[in-house]
Amino acid sequence: MNVLIVDDDNAVRLSIALALRRAGLDSEAVSNEDDALAAVRDEHTALVILDMNLTLSTTGRQGLEMLQKIRILRPDIPVILITAWGTIPLTVEAMNLGAVDFMTKPWSNNDLVAKVKKALARSEAARAADQHVDTLEDIERQAIVDALRRCDGNYTTAAQQLGITRQALYRRIEKFKL
């Protein structure tokens, strides 16, 4: 699991990398869009910390455009934006485009690490949830629970709705420990 740091300022890249290393997180730092997009394609990249301005411009448009490209390449990867020129409208637009968080420079290392760990934990939980595939037994159990709820616990009516006998319903209730 690797955190990608994208910033045109070497001092910022080194500072963030050091804070992450102290927190036990691996990172890779790049200074331009081409290197950043190449690193995003790598499956080892788990999160991106992206500067909003990779040139002398201070509009934040470049960061928003890169955020959109990252969303296309890896819609699942969390992106935390960082800028010295933050505004509320820019923050709102970034969040609407899929950023998970937004920080202004100068930053607190404790806050940065906390935001990174929180975003990584959420991403991992979402990935785990996506990997769960309901089994036939899961679906059958849920169908029985739903039928019993619709019928206010009446076994005869629930069995009729499910298209099975009462005895079969009893066996399944026992099997699923309902």
CATH number, domain of 144, equals 1.10.10.60
Are 94 and 19 in the same domain?
A: yes
**CATH number of the domain where residue 121 is located:** 3.40.50.2300
My answer on whether 63 and 141 are in the same domain is: no
Same domain, 101 and 148: no
Mean pLDDT of 69-74: 92
Do 117 and 158 belong to one domain?
A: no
**Residue-range definition of the domain harbouring residue 155:** 136-175
Q: 81 and 23 share a domain?
A: yes
Q: Which comes out higher in pLDDT, residue 54 or 150?
A: 150
Q: How confident is the model at residue 122 (pLDDT cuts 50, 70, 90)?
A: very high
b (16+ CB within 10 A) / e for 139-166: eebeebeebbeebeeeeeebbebbebee
Q: Do both 90 and 167 map to the same domain?
A: no
Residues 102 and 81 in one domain: yes
Q: Is 149:159 a contact under the CB 8 Å cutoff?
A: no
Answer yes or no: do 79 and 121 share one domain. Answer: yes
Chain-wide mean pLDDT for the chain? 89
pLDDT at position 126 is 81
According to DSSP H, which parts of 10-154 are helical? 10-22, 33-41, 61-73, 88-96, 109-131, 136-150
Six token digits for residue 51: 């500067």
Q: For the segment 42-70, what is each residue's pLDDT rounded down to a tens digit?
A: 889 999 999 988 876 666 688 889 999 99
| Residue 109 and residue 161 share a domain | no
Number of domains in the chain: 2
Q: Are residues 76 and 35 in the same domain?
A: yes
Burial of 123 (0-12, 13-18, 19+ CB in 10 A): middle
165 pLDDT band (50/70/90 cuts)? very high
Query: Do 144 and 127 have their domain in common?
Result: no
In terms of domains, do 127 and 82 share one? yes
